[in-house]
Amino acid sequence: MLHNERECRGCREYQELSRRGFLGTAGAATLTAFATPAWLPRISLAGSFQTRDTLVVVFLRGGMDGLTSIVPYGDPNYNQALRPTLWVPPPGGANTAVDLDGFFGLAPAMGSLLPAYQSGQLLAIHATGSPDPNRSHFDSNKIMEYGTPLQEQILFTGWLARHLQTMPPMGTGPLRAVAFNDLIPIMLVGAPATVPIPDPVEFGFPGSVATAAARRAVVDATYGVAPEPLAGTALSTTATIDLLATIDFENYTPSGGAVYPATPFGDALKSAAALIKADVGVEAATIDKGGWDTHNQQGVFAGDMFTLMTDLANGLAAFHTDMQSHMDSMTAMVMSEFGRRVDENGSFGTDHGHGNAMLLMGGHVNGGQVMANWTGGQLLHPDNLYAGDSLDVTTDYRDVVAEVVSKRLNNPDVNSLFPNYTPTFQGVATV
Amino acid sequence: MTEANALCDEIRSDNAEGDAPTGLSRRGAIRNVVAGLGLGALPAIAFGDPALRPTRGRRRQRPVVVPRFGATDPALLALINRATMGFSRAAYDEAESMGYEIWLEWQLDHENIDDSAWEAQLATYLFDTLTMTSQQIFNTYGEMDGIIVQQLVRATILRHAFSRKQLFERMVEFWTDHFNIEILDGQCRRLKTADDRDVIRANALGTFPALLSASAHSGAMLFYLDNYTNIVGHAQENYARELMELHTMGVDGGYSQNDVEEVARCFTGWNFWNQGSGQFGNFRFISGQHDNGVKTVLGNVINAGGVADGDAVVNILAYHPSTARFIAWKLCKRFIGYNPPEDMVETVKQTYLDTGGDIKSMLRVILHSTVMQYLTTPKFKRPLHLMTSVLRATGATVTQARYVQNESLSMGQAPFYWSPPDGYPDSIETWGATLLPRWDFGWSVFNSATSVTIDTVGLLNSEGGNVPGQQAAAINRILTGGALPVGEVAEIQDYYDGAPAGSALRDAFTLGASVPGYQWY
């Protein structure tokens, strides 16, 4: 049965392992020992947990237009005839591409990412995505996040969940992965010790502060003697509440003068930064950023996509500045379910397409370049288009994900991540 | 004759022989049920004890002032817990006064339940799309599909909580999971309302073959599982695969990849009418897109041609023994326990085969008092069940319908929001992994007076709880019929005794809804 697939053994084992570990080392300490007023945890649970990178996945929901965010201005087929109002001219002057490598450039709204790129810690990969022809958001999200073609979707667990299931916990903390959303995304379905935390400041015991301790005492006492899995889950939950309470997210001060945008995306990245720096054993964080389905009035230099790109780039740039001290132990990945059509539609927007751009950020990504198999510099030539209307996928996103998971998250068996697919590493990261 | 068989005869005599829905002797079925539970020797002993004897026909004097002692009949309490969307004193008392079997038959005969008071209440929420066709919905709301989704989600939760047709609502929930359709998936935003009404609700207590056929012709299902793109020469297997794996035979039901491909061919051209057609969402067979070649499905040659090919597949699958077993297992899992006894599943499967998939007949076997009496494994309430349980037990009035939608989203089980086609899981592993949203809800529901009103003082008084030291016990009776563990009740009472007077009662109710004992049923 399908649900049995979901309830995989490895997952339970590691949940148990994690809970036991927590009980053994820190369970008693958590409630009492944190006392010093700093945003950092007031006690180090067991030395640093950081034995492998923390992965931050930013998923751009709706189908980001990669031909606008990472402009292939060097391809002669990319021109104003193709995109009358959306065309980004080659570098030079206002409202032109911000040059990256003489062929690709950033949309002006993405210009704040140039320093990260120049530092060698930001990599763009173009003409990437899933080779699946599907153009439904819904199906494409599933294809990408379950990591299996639609027709073969028998594993209803996400690829990131399967990574966590097959790896022992990085530490003994109660929390292995966080989704900065109301619910966990598909990529984390089935993941052990994973909690959706829409806002870490709000992840507290509910209700009046005046009575919270006494009410929680009832919860602790009754769940403490409840049958599993409830006792363990209650402990994980209250431990996470306590864990997050030790991190003063509200007064967290980013390093290097970094200023996150005052947006939900900026807040989520800032929370991720605080959580990673707190070094409490969190291995993965996901952030959804929606709104990219720009069929109408796409708005490259002002308007919808301009605002989205500005938020995305300023957020990532701030994260890059803030996380300099941790660049050796984190990788951020930005992806979307598919790209958009190469030609502009009749309502100044673009329709669902195929290939797209991805971003990787981290101290061990091979940054400072745009990796793309661009077919003689003319992947946008009509003969080279996918289905005659879209950017092709010349780099499978699974190659990128698997390489990061292998080299940076130390997973020795990435073949299990994507069933029936053997990834080919593209050199996006170093061990 | 054993006591159990005597009981069965007693039940049989309630209906004229001709009313028996099957050729299967009910007595035989019950005997098998009891044997299936591994309790063959027990009933004679148990039924000898008047305290444990089912209360059919027994009418008790209702105490007026004296505090009640909670639900005293274990079989009846189990029935209320399993056959409704949550225990309430009112439902228990109603069943107690009717008697077990009469209440069950009353619930099964849902079309004759007088639900007019609730329907009048539902009408005040002004959910105008519930009775519209998909075309009317599109014509009225067009791209404003958020309103359509909101109305159906909110109405569904409120119906689950407040309709008197509780077993019907339980089955609506069950089939909604079984024939999962994600409402946010494109056209499903506009099509699920009709599917909910004309497929799920129309057949929830009918026969499985009719339900299956209705689902196969549903615009929402044809969109959700992509069959509208299933065209001769480009067969799309998505629906074909899920039809066999999830809707009928089960993944181990004995079909092959070749069967999937052949079934997909049979369903080529099955589509739905578009928005400009005047009959948006209705089933449409496009003969030009159909593969009229000969197909072989599960060894059956299908050569009917046209739309009859797909209908033939539905027919083969609906009466296949693997389907009977899969549906029987799933029903037993939902109503009895996560790992239902094998013999029980076999008995229900046999009922399916004998009755042509009659859902009521299967439920009569599963919900029989001899089964409910000996339930040993509690089940974990899914979040929606937790919500409806509190709303039911407290007689809450939901004044802002958005509240129930928001809370169901926060707890991760908003109706129709599940994305994969397998439906919200019915497993402790899934739901037992997240507790904070439940505790949040427990607080919220007793502290959101502008959205949901609960007369905690009135409830307490009605259960004689306005006595020092007896508040938690009364809350226990209100919420569960007295089923919370003694230790949990004591903890709540301790809290109450030391809490600020202004919030003590609401807090104690909050704790009652938050403790482990309330998460099980």
Structure token digits, residue A340: 């958009």
Decide if pLDDT at A81 tops 70. yes
Q: What is the pLDDT of residues A170-221, one digit of tens each?
A: 887 788 999 998 667 889 887 888 888 888 988 999 999 999 999 999 999 9
Q: Is the pLDDT of residue A372 over 50?
A: yes
Best of B226, B227, B435, B475 to disrupt the A interface by mutation (most A CBs within 10 Å)? Answer: B435
Higher pLDDT, B116 or A50: B116
Separation in Å, CA of A227 to nearest CA in chain B = 9
User: What average pLDDT does this structure show over B454-478?
Assistant: 96
The torsion defined by the Cα of A365, A370, A376 and A381, in degrees rounded to 10, comes to 130
Look at residue B22 and tell me whether its pLDDT is greater than 80. no
pLDDT for position A151: 60
DSSP letters spanning B142-192: TT-HHHHHHHHHHHHHHHHHH-S-HHHHHHHHHHHHHT---TTSTTHHHHH
Q: Which 431-490 residues of chain B touch chain A by CB within 8 A? A: 432-436, 439-440, 442-444, 447, 487-488
pLDDT above 90 as % of chain B: 77
Q: Is the pLDDT of residue B481 over 80?
A: yes
Searching chain A, which residue's CA lies closest to the CA of residue B508? A215
Q: Does B419 touch chain A (CB under 8 A)?
A: yes
Nearest chain A alpha carbon to B444: A207
B305-334 mean pLDDT:
98
Task: Say which of A142, A182, A226 has its CB closest to residue B516.
Answer: A226
Across the interface, whether the CB atoms of B420 and A156 are under 8 A apart is answered yes
Grouping H, G, I as helix, E, B as strand and the rest as coil, residue B1 is coil
Name which of A49-58, B21-30, B127-136, B498-507 the model is least confident about.
B21-30
Give the chain A residue nearest B514 (alpha carbons): A219
* A182, A186, A208 member nearest B503 (Cβ): A208
pLDDT band at B449 (very low <50, low <70, confident <90, very high): very high
- The ipTM of this complex is 0.85
The residue among A104 and B144 whose pLDDT is bigger is: A104
Task: Calculate the CA dihedral of residues B329, B333, B335, B336 and round it to 10 degrees.
Answer: 100
pLDDT for the residue A240: 86
Q: Is the pLDDT of residue A279 over 60?
A: yes
What's the pLDDT score for residue B12? 30
Cα(B407)–Cα(A294) distance, integer angstroms: 30
**Interchain CB distance below 8 Å, B514 and A219:** yes
Q: Cβ separation of B422 and A237 shorter than 8 Å? A: no
Q: CA of B61, closest CA in chain A: separation in Å? A: 35
Band the pLDDT of A50: cuts 50, 70, 90. low
Q: Which of B427, B442, B516 lies nearest to residue A3, judging by beta carbons?
A: B427
Say yes or no for a CB contact (<8 Å) between A150 and B238.
yes
Residue in B with minimal Cα distance to A2: B422
**Domain boundaries in chain B?**
3-108+322-372, 383-519
pLDDT of residue B199: 98
Question: Rounded CA gap, B227 and B245, in Å?
Answer: 16
Q: Do B422 and A183 touch (CB under 8 A)?
A: no
pLDDT in tens, A15-24: 222 222 222 2
Distance set, CA B282 to CA A16, B215, B218 (Å): 50, 12, 7
Better-scored residue on pLDDT, B46 or B463: B463
Q: Is the pLDDT of residue B243 over 90?
A: yes
Long-range contacts of A85-91 (CB under 8 A, 24+ apart): A85/A300, A85/A344, A85/A348, A86/A298, A86/A300, A86/A344, A86/A348, A86/A350, A88/A300
CA dihedral A130, A136, A138, A142 (to 10 degrees): -20
In what helix (H) or strand (E) does residue B301 lie, and over which residues does it extend?
Answer: strand B300-302
- For residue B491, the chain A residues in CB contact (below 8 A) are 218, 221-222
Regarding beta strands B397-398 and B295-297, do their DSSP bridges make them parallel or antiparallel, or are they unpaired?
Answer: unpaired
Q: Is the pLDDT of residue B352 over 80?
A: yes
Find the CB nearest B432 among A139, A151, A230. A230
List all residues of chain B from 120 to 179 with a beta carbon under 8 Å from chain A. Answer: none
pLDDT band of A155, cuts 50, 70, 90: low
Say yes or no to pLDDT of B49 above 80. Answer: no
Q: Quick one: closest CA in B to A222, which residue?
A: B488
pLDDT value of position B186: 87
Q: Tell me the chain B residues in contact with residue A230 when contact means C-beta distances shorter than 8 Å.
A: 432, 435, 516, 519
Residue B520 binned pLDDT confidence (cut-offs 50, 70, 90): very high
Expressed in percent and rounded to 5, the helix, strand and coil fractions of chain B are 60, 5, 35
pLDDT digits (tens, 9 = 90+) for B408-441: 998 989 999 987 788 998 988 778 878 999 999 9
- Of A33-42, A237-246, B293-302, B449-458, minimum mean pLDDT range: A33-42
Chain A residue set in contact with B, beta carbons under 8 Å: 1-3, 6-7, 12, 15, 136, 138-139, 142, 150-151, 153-154, 156, 182-183, 186, 195-196, 203, 205-208, 210-211, 214-215, 217-219, 221-223, 225-227, 229-230, 233-234, 237, 241
- B516 → closest Cβ in A150, A205, A230: A230
The string over B405-420, giving b where at least 16 C-beta atoms fall within 10 Å of a residue's C-beta and e elsewhere, is: bbbbbbbbbbbbbbbb
Average pLDDT of chain A is: 85
Lowest mean pLDDT among A161-175, A320-334, B172-186, B195-209: A161-175
Does residue B38 have a pLDDT over 70?
no
Most confident of A6-10, A25-29, A225-229, B260-264: B260-264
pLDDT value of position B236: 78
Identity of the residue in B182, B422, B435 whose CB atom sits nearest the CB atom of A3: B422
pLDDT at B357 over 90: yes
Bigger pLDDT: B38 or A32? B38
Burial group, residue B304, by CB count within 10 angstroms (0-12, 13-18, 19+): middle
User: What's this model's pTM, rounded to 2 decimal places?
Assistant: 0.74
**Chain A environment of B184 (Cβ under 8 Å):** 138
* Cis check: omega of the bond before B415, within 30 degrees of 0: no
Q: Do A142 and B444 touch (CB under 8 A)?
A: no
B54 or A389, which is more confident? A389
Q: Who has greater pLDDT, B1 or A345?
A: A345
Chain A CB within 8 Å of residue B499 CB: yes
Contact (CB<8Å) A153/B420:
yes
CA distance A313 to A319: 10
Residue B241 has pLDDT above 50, yes or no: yes
**Domains of chain A in sequence order:** 2-30+55-200+247-416 (3.40.720)
Compute the nearest-CA separation of B98 from chain A (Å): 35
Inter-chain contact A12–B429, Cβ cutoff 8 Å? yes
- B515 to chain A, closest Cα gap in Å: 6
pLDDT of residue B439: 97
Average pLDDT, chain B: 87
Q: Is the confidence at residue A159, as pLDDT, over 80?
A: yes
Output the pLDDT for position A185. Answer: 85
User: Considering only CA atoms, which of A249, A292, A244, A298 is closest in space to residue A273?
Assistant: A249
Name the minimum distance, in Å, from the CA of B81 to any CA of chain A: 20
Nearest-by-CA chain B residue for A183: B412
pLDDT interval class at A152 (50, 70, 90): low
Residue A121's pLDDT band, with cuts at 50, 70 and 90, is very high
Residue of B nearest to A4 (CA): B427
- Reported as a pLDDT band with limits 50, 70 and 90, residue A10 is very low
Average pLDDT over residues A384-412: 96
**Predicted pLDDT of residue A182:** 67
Is A205 close to B439, i.e. CB distance below 8 A? yes
Q: Chain A to chain B, count of Cβ pairs less than 8 Å apart?
A: 118
Residue B58 pLDDT exceeds 50? no
Residues of A in contact with B498 (CB under 8 A): 214
How much is the pLDDT for A153? 58
